Structure 1
Amino acid sequence: MDHQPSVPPVYQLAPEQVAGPYFRNPRLLRRNISEGAEGLPLLLRLTIVDAMTGEPVSGALVDIWHCNARGAYSGWSRINPDQEVDVEDIGSIPRTDDDTYLRGGQFSDHKGRVRFTTIYPGFYAGRALHIHVAVRIVAGSEYLDERNVAWVGQLYFPEVVSRSVLNARAYRGRASSPLNNCQDHYYTRMGGEASTLTVWPISRDSHEDGFFGHLTIGIDTFAVSSQIKPEDFDKYTV
């Protein structure tokens, strides 16, 4: 019997999405980004692969940022998350503080994986629950020696899990209500279904113990993102 050589899987390119007004570059290489923020734990694993070859992308710098259980972003902690903000451009909202909770970056390992310890995000008015991600292809091992920003996206959550989370104490008592995924025009307009995490509880007994989340992200390693330019990482630095 002839043995055919194994062919690595080829992944669909993950859809790019806007970076949003709360992007900044705190230059924090760290796995645990929670800084003690209140909320249900989320152990997040992302796998970065070359969509053309299916091979893992090692050494990519993966940054994530998201709001806390009450909908606030570090750097903008005094912005009221229950009032909808009608802007999406980087730098369009002046910062209010120098906090850095729920932000950080990791280099992908030889299997293209990064892991973050964080919390399940809350929401802010006019949006579904989501996490922002930027993937930089680095030219060397130095943190700021990036060749290009290859991909910028947003990660979404299964509705049934989010409903359970938003009933937890840290998330209740808001003056606004979250959009579900299909009501969020970024999700519907920019292919959010392909960017929805697989999420499952850490414990069978209680969701209070938190969740695991995973997604494989297929990128073009030679692409140049239209959402964040390399100079933005210097411009919007702590």
Structure 2
Amino acid sequence: MTGTQEPKHKKDLTRRKVVVAGTAAVAAVGAGGALAMSASADEAADATSTASASSTAEVCYKLTSETTEGPYYIDADKLRQDITEDKEGIPLTLQLKVIDSETCKPVANAAVDIWHCDALGLYSGYESFSQGGGTAPTDAPTDAPTGTPTDVPTGTPTGEPPSGGGGGGGHEEPTSDTRYLRGTWKTDKKGCVTFKTVFPGWYQGRCVHIHTKVHVDGEWTDAGYEGGHACHTGQFFFDEETVLLTAEVDPYSTSTTTRTTLTEDTIYDQSGTTGGLLKLKYNKKNIAKGVTASITMGVDPDTTNDGT
């Protein structure tokens, strides 16, 4: 791009251009009532001493786990903090902080992407691929076959399981122009960024999660964010107790999709905060009023982790 500086990491550059949209104020979670909080037990252990008696350099914060980006990532996304659009669901305020895991210094002016499915498991741009599940049809057939099938296949299946589902597999090209529940915004001087969205639902084969990417060494222009490289590609996760509460709230309660639990998920590495487990605050007696989720991501700005 004419007039812009050449990013440092030439071999891993990917051009990113985001459409600038008007920003929206982040709505506060409804106050009142008892707050429920969840955090992994190892969160306090993530931070360690930055120096030792022998002056040997030590990592001050654990690197946040890298994951695949999944098949539903869209590079050219909207520059905004409120990604809700008109989607229904429990209000979710997502508070993120990005720090250098070696120095513990905040990573300012990074571009943070988030994207996730809606309350019924559908991804914008990929409704025809997504495996969401809504209310069961009322005109289900009454002449379903009975008895035991006689042509059941035998032997051990071979080959790879089907890809997709937002966890692994190759990238899929979008099949629609919708872009709800996707957005990009920059971290402030403290490495912080906040998004307003709705609590994600679930779909076949995956627990409830949010995808994220952190881009550095690019440039913010009038057109958005360009150049640079992704130093982190990960996912955020929610504890089981909270997900069970959301499942009782409409429209989540109308889902007919079998839900994969946090311990059953094949992407979450069971490492708590390091693996992307969010700290949550909400009114336990009325979760429908909203949830605040927060996490600190320890990244290596000099490394490329594009999740592909």
Q: Same fold by TM (over 0.5)?
A: yes
Percent identity reads: 30
* Residue in structure 2 matching 1:86, options 163, 166, 171: 163
How far is 1:176 from its partner?
Answer: 1.8
SS in structure 2 at match of 1:167 = coil
* Residue in structure 2 matching 1:15, options 54, 58, 65: 65
Partner of 2:218: 139
* 1:62-101 matches, cutoff 5 A: 62-82=112-132, 86-87=163-164, 88-92=168-172, 94-101=173-180
1:66-114 deviation line (CA, Å, top 9, x unaligned): 000000000012335248963323423x533110000001100011001
SS in structure 1 at match of 2:280 = strand
Gaps of 5+ in 1: 1-5, 229-238
* Residue in structure 2 matching 1:186, options 267, 280, 284: 267
2: CA distance between counterparts of 1:172 and 1:205?
Answer: 17
Contact persistence 1:186–1:192 (CA under 8 A): no
Alpha-carbon spacing, 1:193–1:109, altered in 2? closer, same or farther (3 Å): closer
Partner of 2:144: none
How far is 1:7 from its partner?
Answer: 5.8
Matched, 1:218 2:295: no
1: CA distance between counterparts of 2:182 and 2:236?
Answer: 14
SS in structure 2 at match of 1:208 = helix
- Return the letter of the residue paired with 1:180: T
Gaps of 5+ in 2: 1-48, 52-58, 134-160
Contact persistence 2:69–2:306 (CA under 8 A): no
Q: Quick check: which has more Rg, 1 or 2?
A: 2
Q: What TM-score comes out, normalization by structure 2 length?
A: 0.66
- Return the letter of the residue paired with 2:266: H
Matched, 1:163 2:213: no
Partner of 2:27: none
Contact persistence 1:138–1:145 (CA under 8 A): no
Contact persistence 1:29–1:104 (CA under 8 A): yes
2: CA distance between counterparts of 1:25 and 1:226?
Answer: 11
1:165-216 deviation line (CA, Å, top 9, x unaligned): 1111110222222111110011138x56521000111x46521111000000
- Return the letter of the residue paired with 1:43: T
More helix by share: 1
How far is 1:226 from its partner?
Answer: 4.4
1: CA distance between counterparts of 2:193 and 2:273?
Answer: 21
SS in structure 2 at match of 1:182 = coil
Contact persistence 1:51–1:218 (CA under 8 A): yes
The count of corresponding residues between Structure 1 and Structure 2 is 220
1:127-157 deviation line (CA, Å, top 9, x unaligned): 0000000000033323332321111000000
Contact persistence 2:218–2:225 (CA under 8 A): no
- Return the letter of the residue paired with 2:66: E
2: CA distance between counterparts of 1:31 and 1:141?
Answer: 16
Partner of 1:234: none
- Return the letter of the residue paired with 1:186: I
